Structure 1
Amino acid sequence: MSLKGKIKFYRRLDVRMAFWYTITFLTTILIIFGFLDYRFQHNLLKEIDRMLIDETHEIINQILKHPLSIKEKLKSQEEIVAKRRYYPIAFQVFDHQLNLIYTCSKLPGFIFPKPSLDEKNFIIPVLKKSVKGSRKNLPFRLHTYFYREGSKLKYVVQVATELKIMRKSVENFRENLMVAFVVAFLFGSVGGWILSRKNLKPIDTLTEAIKRINANQLNERLPIQGIDDELDRLALTVNEMIERVEEYLKKLTQFTADAAHELRTPITALKGETEVLLSRKRSSEEYQEALINNLERLDYLTRLINNLLLLSQADEGKASLEFKTINLTNLLRELQEAFFLVAEQKKINL
């Protein structure tokens, strides 16, 4: 069974990466869609405000051009705006004392609020606001314009239109955004999965390469893609570690072989001398001499084992070696004494 098969599906790295890819992508899409929705409503509202301002200016122009026949001209203006198919207009005009001069209220469910002569109205010539109608809470947009000549208030004009068309446009736009969101979710999920699998493919390659490396195949190395990314640096680090392990195992093998060779020689001599000693009856002096020789060889083995242990500690950096000059003549004499009986038995002249 593969390693992936042993890991629970929701714990797999590619599944988690695909999940976070998708979440990040969808979060970005939601932010963009929210911004688009806001900008769409804002731009529609700006266009409606621009239309209401134009209508207000047209009404003011009619009043200023024909001050003696205001109602007739406003009646004509009412007939003009009544022919509109979209964004029907309602308006009313007051004098400087807020006495109603003319009203055209043909927006079902809408009632004009009475304007107020607050001090701020003398600073802000046009008040813009959205209001709710009395029927089904239909939204309306209302402009209240304070026309002054110098610092003296002359007329107050209120112009309103319904926002039903705008609301339908916004609803249609949101429906399109919802469809786009579903499509983005599908593509984001599939794309996140593909990206996660593509990004994790080098890790699978490294995993398979590591599986092939063992004590008998330390010559294997992890592949390097050559793009100097995090995975390449990881592979280089692991390869350097494998080289150190390989070098250590070579030293260990060499040390084992050397230790076996160094131990085999005195043990062979000890065994050979004992066999010679037991080959026939000998005097107590000869036995005593043989035991003394064996004890010397055992001391030699003890020193040899201690030396091997010191070498092992030196390889690990736990001890330092001190090199000394030795006398080869004494060393050869000790070897002659160690193998004298074995050589005598085999009729070898030392």
Structure 2
Amino acid sequence: MAGGAHAGESLGVERRTTRCWEYGSVFIPEDDGCDEDPKTGKFVPLGSVQVVVAWFGDANDASLRNDITEEVQRMLSPSQRSAVPAMARLWGDPAKFRVKQLEVTYEQDWLGDERREALLGLKARANEKAQEAPELESLLQRLSAALVAAAQSRPCPAESIAGFGATSPRWRQLGFQSCDPRSDLRTGILALDCLVHMAERYPLATSQMVREAQSDGIDYPFAVASINITQHLARYLQLVKDGLGCSGMQSASPRVVHRFARLLASSRQRIESRREPAAPAIEPFCELHAAVMARLHSNWRARKQEDPSITVMHFGPIMEETLAAACAFCKQAPMETASEFRGLASVSQEAWPGPGGSEMMEGLPDD
């Protein structure tokens, strides 16, 4: 029986309490604090585990307990999940003729320094206010330039294309709520990073989704949906904590965040190896966002084809279904390369075969 998990002050560090009655066992760390070794099939603890306090004895009377903190620490294995039995022959009997309990409080650093640093860089982008970010205008220019270039079927040197301008009806056509996109960018700058990445990496597919989202047959605000998807994914990966959320989508387990942070760390190493200017590794998150947007677009289009009478008022449940699928995908994906997100972008056979399917993810490198 486990107690509640408490987030530590440091990202990726949690303190947990687990307990059981005599003759039972507690498992340290808990299931979501481990990952399966593909070679041995054993559950290996993520990071390091330090026992804070452990005791065996009476559940209500602290004077009838034995402190077994050091003994439990020695029992833990760094290579596999450990079972700690609640037995008097191991820990002594400080409460004779009473029902006894084993309780262990431990702290697990399940990220490690390298992954934590990479995740903190992404977290900073998710929390830096877009409207105050120094690169806001340059990112808006890149976004509009990429879409203009795609419409003209030519390469996109952003500096040579005028784009939409500071305010324009074309921003509304992209799916913002007004002619000034800044009014919708009330989240972190990561939301704009994701839009720019999608438009520059998949210009034809993105411009096609934008056009279709404007049409009467599909009709939803593409840019606003993209911003919302970014925020939901950021909450899921524990990057932002604004008290909001999507029903059916809880925070990712340490196992999922650990795997995703490994992708970020690998991306950061590639940036450093190319001796590019220091920048947070955001590409894996942007690829996840692009895949979820592709699936959302396909799901909404398929639903509109089934029932043309539904309106944007029904868009919320479709977004929730899409995010639930993303959550289920992330639980199972090994996340060794960002190319795995192609599987999330690929939808069911009933879905349309346009840019919302796996075609959107073509050209994605395998590392």
How does the TM-score come out when normalised to structure 2?
A: 0.20
TM-score of the two chains, using structure 1 as the length reference? 0.20
Flag the structure with larger Rg: 1
